[in-house]
Structure 1
Amino acid sequence: MEIPAPKVGHVIAYAYVWRQEYAAGQREGAKNRPCAIVLATARDNGGRLIVTVAPITHTPPSDPAAAVEIWPLTKKRLGLDGNRSWVIVDDLNVFTWPGFDLQPVPQRPETCLYGPLPGGLIRQIRAAIARCYPSAALSDRDV
């Protein structure tokens, strides 16, 4: 499977572990899902990247301020279904890239990358993250 360099705004296939699953002792994602890369920062002398992803789900958010809906044309371009979906910004996973939780995209097993989100949508997602995590250090250079 091709594993590209991580870029903020890329949507990847990932075995996501929700916060409540982790709190219950689960350490592996029960379902592979599209996730948006919201931060990719070099953290060590070896150049390994620490990546933060936000899950994409069909479940309407319990707190609308903690989610950003993905535009229908963007979903179509990424090869996702036509149902409404949201990027959840108050439940994030952090891992060292590439990590063992990367998965092949359904119908395209040669890659884990669905594709990029448009810049305007990335800015909305990152603004929502900043509202949920006021101390988060997100800057325009991370986009």
Structure 2
Amino acid sequence: MIDPRHGDVILYSYLWAREHDRGEESGRKARPTCVMLIVAGKDGKPKPLLFPITSQPPRADARSIQIPETEARRAKLYTPAWVIVDEFNTDDLATSWAIEDTKPLGQFSRKFMSRIAVEAAAAIRAGAIRSVPRR
């Protein structure tokens, strides 16, 4: 369906970990979602990690990064907005039915993506991250 690039912000039917825990299998609405490509596995192919973006202030215990105005403009988002970094979906974006639109809304800069990666890595080291596979 799409060939995602690192830093793309797409409309994706994100499945929150709490919804997955209740047995739900699809997200309730399409939301802006940040694509982070990492190389994982023996095949050496990039694997997308999909981090949700929200306009609602995150829970006090959630790990998140507030999106600066310049980054929000690049991604065509309203502010205030946050990237949640303590959970993510994994999906095959080439065949996913959860993508709302094949054209990205916009893209975050490499510098901001590095910040997201650092925070996600810290959450992983702390054992405070959830991965929700979509397939």
Give me the TM-score of the superposition, normalised by structure 1: 0.76
2:49 paired with 1:16:
no
Structure 1: give runs of 5+ residues left out of the alignment: 105-110, 137-143
RMSD of aligned C-alpha atoms?
2.4
AA of the residue aligned to 1:122: M
Distance 1:73 1:59 in 2: 19
Partner of 1:69: 66
Distance 2:91 2:119 in 1: 21
Q: State how many pairs are aligned.
A: 126
Distance 1:102 1:44 in 2: 26
Which SS does the other structure have where 1:96 is aligned? coil
Distance 1:14 1:92 in 2: 12
Partner of 2:97: 100
Alignment of 1:83-94 (within 5 A): 83-94=79-90
Tell me if structure 2 keeps the 8 A contact 1:6–1:40.
no
Cα deviation code 1:108-129 (max 9, x no counterpart):
xxx4311220111111100000
Shift of 1:64: 6.8
More deviation, 71-80/94-103 = 71-80
Give runs of ≥4 in structure 1 deviating > 6 Å: none
2:35 paired with 1:30:
no
Shift of 1:91: 1.3
AA of the residue aligned to 2:30: N
Tell me if structure 2 keeps the 8 A contact 1:11–1:116.
yes
Which SS does the other structure have where 2:23 is aligned? coil
Partner of 1:120: 111
Shift of 1:24: 0.6
Distance 2:119 2:62 in 1: 7
Tell me if structure 2 keeps the 8 A contact 1:54–1:92.
yes
Partner of 1:50: 47
Structure 2: give runs of 5+ residues left out of the alignment: 128-135
